Every structure is written in C-alpha cells, then in structure tokens.
Amino acid sequence: MIYFNFDAIVAPPLATIPQELIEQEMKKQAETGKTSMAILNSNCEIVEKPEVYYASRKLGLPGVFGQFMTVINNDMIFPDRFSLELTNHCNFSCKMCPRSVMTRKKEFMSRELFCKIVDEIHEFSKVTAVNKVDLYRLGESTLHPDFGFMLDYIGKLDTPFPTQLATNGSRLDEKMIRKIMDSSLTYLVLSFNAQDAETYRNVTGGAELSQTIKALQNLKRFRTKRTPFIMLQFVEQEGTHDKLEEFVKEYIDSCDIVISSSLEDFGGQLKQNSAYVEKHILGDGDGGDRLVCPRGVWRRAMIYVNGDVVPCICDINASYTKMGNVTQSSIKEIFDSPQWAEFVAMHKECGEKLLKHPLCGPCSEWKIMTGYNKRFTPKIVSNQ
Ligand SMILES: C[S@@+](CC[C@H](N)C(=O)[O-])C[C@H]1O[C@@H](n2cnc3c(N)ncnc32)[C@H](O)[C@@H]1O
Ligand code: SF4
Ligand code: SF4
C-alpha cells in the first residue's frame, strides 16, 4: 500500500466527473472522516476511491496519473499550473534529462519578463484556482543571478500562490538556503535520483552526493517554518532500478516527502531512456484503446525562458505546439487562442487527428501518465 496525500501534494480540481459520483464519494468521506488521503495499490488503483477511478476510466478521463488525480475542467478561464523556466542553463548533465536534446538558446529570463508573468498569474489567482507555479523547467534556477529577487517578488504578493522549486542542490550554500527558507516557497524538491555516491556521479555526470547531503542537512537546520515542504526526488532508471525502498529507508527522516517519479522518454525523443521505459514501464501489456492524455487537456502552461508557451513538457524545443509568446501577448490571450482550443479538442476527441499529430501521435507518455498498462506505480511516501 502506498499512502498518497492529496493535501500535501496538490489540491486537484474535481470537475466533469458526474456530480452524483462526487456527492456519493463526499458522503462516504464525511461518514468515515477521511477527506484527504487516498490509498493506491501497486496497480495504480485508488483503493479508497474506486468509484471515482473507474468512472474516470469509463469516461476516458485520466483518473490517476503521476502524483495526483486530475480531471478535465471545461470551465477553466486560465491555466491552473505553470512552469516558469527561469533559465535553461545547467551545471549538471544528468543522463536521463531532456536537456540533452534541447537546442533552444541558453539564457536567463529577464526580470521584466518574470515580473510580467508573475503579475498576470497573480491577478488570475484571485478569481480562479492556480494550483501551483513551478519555478523551473529545463535548467537549474538557482544559477540565475536574480533568483533571490524573484523569490522576493513572489513573496511580496498580497496573496502568494503555491510555488515549487526543483533543484539539483549544487548552489544551496548557507546563504541561499536561508534565503529559500525565509521565502514564500511552498515546495522544495531536491533531486537525488541515486542511492549512493557512485550512482549519483553516474546519474549527474560527475557531481558529488556528499554536497547534496550537506545541503539537505542545512535545509532542515535553517528551517524557520513548516514550508517549504522538503521533498526528495528519486527517478528509477538503470542503476537505480528497485532501489527506491533502500532510498526511502535512508532518507525519509531527513525530509517531508519522497517522490518516486517514473522515468520519461518524452515520447521516444530520449533514446537513452527508451529501452528502460519499454522494458520496465510500458512493457508489452495492452491496456486497451488510447486514453485521453492528461497532459494534453490539463491546461498546464510551460513558459520557456524566452517567453514561448507550450502546453506539454514533451515539446522540449517548442517546435510542435508553440501557442504564443508572453513578450508579445498576455497569458490569457494565449490561453484563449484558437490554437490552444484546437489542441485541447484534438485530445478530447482522441481520434485520427491526434494520431497524425507529429508530437502526440507517436507519443507514449500518455500511457505512463494514465497508468495505461498498470505497470506504472506512482509512489509518494510522506513522514508527515
Ligand atoms: C529537468 S529538472 C530541472 C530542475 C533542476 N535542475 C533539478 O534537477 O531538479 C526537473 C526534474 O525533472 C527530473 N527529471 C529529469 N529527467 C527526467 C526524466 N527523463 N524522467 C523523469 N524525470 C526527470 C529531475 O530529476 C528533476 O527532479
Ligand atoms: S540538474 Fe536538472 S536540469 Fe540539470 S541536467 Fe540534471 S535534471 Fe536536468
Ligand atoms: S500525447 Fe504526449 S506530447 Fe501530446 S500532450 Fe500527451 S504527453 Fe504531451
């Protein structure tokens, strides 16, 4: 059994699952007093909420994926999750990372662009749910010379939205840690991805695990409040396969949450990952017809360092699904554009057009995200 805490991870918008089903579920929750915990078994099925899971499968909705539950909300007026790529520079060269095929110009997001984006999200967060804003995408944000300014800027908002930083930890010296711990950041993901020093060197392209462990110890030492939640990320791949349990035993007491992410190959774009994904994640199981891809309908916006907006993380170079650029338009204008509506419609129809799409057609990420062949097991372990 894997315990999966919705509250600590994300507050999912529950829409488009039939109302009576939700009411039934809520009634059950009220009776049992359990509201925020869902229990998943190793087949990625929510044991405590089977009605919702099976209803969403029947409707072609992505009932369970990745770390949390998602459903399609037809009434959204604005994306509910953002990834802001503060920079696409990085000082590591992790072997599984999509940066290896990134050809976009490497740069740092300007203060001006950052403030424009944050201001727009902030305005909308007052009238619609903004579940999370990631302060990273394909790079190491702590390398940004204005990183402190950016944290301060978000912290000064009258109603700050939830934010998440994922970092390799290499720049987490005492000064940086104090800055982060005093900021309004909600989630801090420290990417470990290895159970020992040798594997860590291998995964990261030569970095030292001892440095990351020291950063982790200091994060706890300089903690002044409950947030940011300290989360350790562990991606299973060659060299770390089946080592999650070992990792959890070693580190669960040093953090709030351990997240085991499934290795992705971004629809086969990362050849180095494909063999592992095929063998250990996708396998040869047949999960039936193609299911609606949660990423294609989830209204999540990646805002790359130069302002380009794409709806799916798989578009590493913004070459297939660019929806606009925030230096030229507002996020709202881009979100309301015909090309965004077409992209979502194509996914909801889940037919010929999707199969012919150059990125989504051959993509297999949706299988991982939907637990299609039931080999994918999202694992989140919390010591909260
Ligand atoms: C691309 S990194 C950027 C942020 C930061 N540089 C870091 O490493 O945390 C964001 C997260 O993606 C994870 N990641 C990288 N490649 C991945 C892959 N192929 N599949 C799944 N997760 C991956 C990393 O472990 C990290 O936690
Ligand atoms: S540190 Fe992060 S961005 Fe850099 S290579 Fe590793 S996973 Fe990719
Ligand atoms: S099918 Fe693949 S590329 Fe298309 S939205 Fe889903 S995950 Fe992204």
Q: Smallest Cα–Cα separation from 188: which of 229, 218, 151?
A: 229
Sheet strands (E) in the chain: 2-5, 37-40, 81-84, 132-134, 163-167, 187-191, 229-235, 257-261, 300-303, 308-310, 324-325, 379-382
Would you state the structure tokens that stand for residue 39, as one six-digit string? 């229990």
- Site of tokens 């953090």: 255
The answer on pLDDT for 34 being more than 60 is no
Report the separation in Å between the CA atom of 230 and the middle of ligand 2, taken as the mean of its atom positions.
18
Q: Is the CB of 219 under 6 A from ligand 3?
A: no
Cα 219 to ligand 3 centroid, rounded to whole Å: 35
**In the numeric block, which tokens belong to residue 236?**
């299973």
- Alpha-carbon distance 152 to 68, whole Å? 29
Buried b (16+ CB within 10 A) or exposed e, 339-353: ebeebbebbbebeee
Least confident among 53-57, 75-79, 158-162: 53-57
Q: Give 142 Cα–ligand 3 centroid separation in angstroms.
A: 28
Ligand 2, atom nearest to 204 Cα: 6
Q: Which residue has the higher pLDDT, 83 or 21?
A: 83
- What pLDDT was estimated at residue 301? 96
Task: Look at 114 and 289; give whichever has higher pLDDT.
Answer: 114
Task: Enter the pTM of the model.
Answer: 0.83
Q: Are strands 187-191 and 229-235 parallel, antiparallel or unpaired?
A: parallel
- Where residue 372 falls among pLDDT bands split at 50, 70, 90? low
List, in order, residues 6 or more apart from 246 with CB less than 8 Å away.
195
Instruction: Pick the range with the lowest mean pLDDT from 2-16, 36-50, 297-311, 334-348.
Output: 2-16
pLDDT value at residue 1: 25
Cβ atoms 78, 331 nearer than 8 A:
yes
C-beta 194 within 6 A of ligand 2: no
pLDDT over 80 at 275, yes or no? yes
How far apart CA 21 and CA 367 sit, in angstroms, is: 25
62 close to 370: Cβ distance less than 8 angstroms: yes
- With tokens 């302002």, the residue in question is 307
Are 254 and 219 within 8 A, CB to CB? no
Give the residue whose CA is nearest to atom 12 of ligand 1: 97
Q: By alpha-carbon position, which residue is closest to atom 1 of ligand 3?
A: 360
Distance 232 CA to ligand 1 centre (A): 12
The CB of 320 under 6 Å from ligand 2? The reply is no
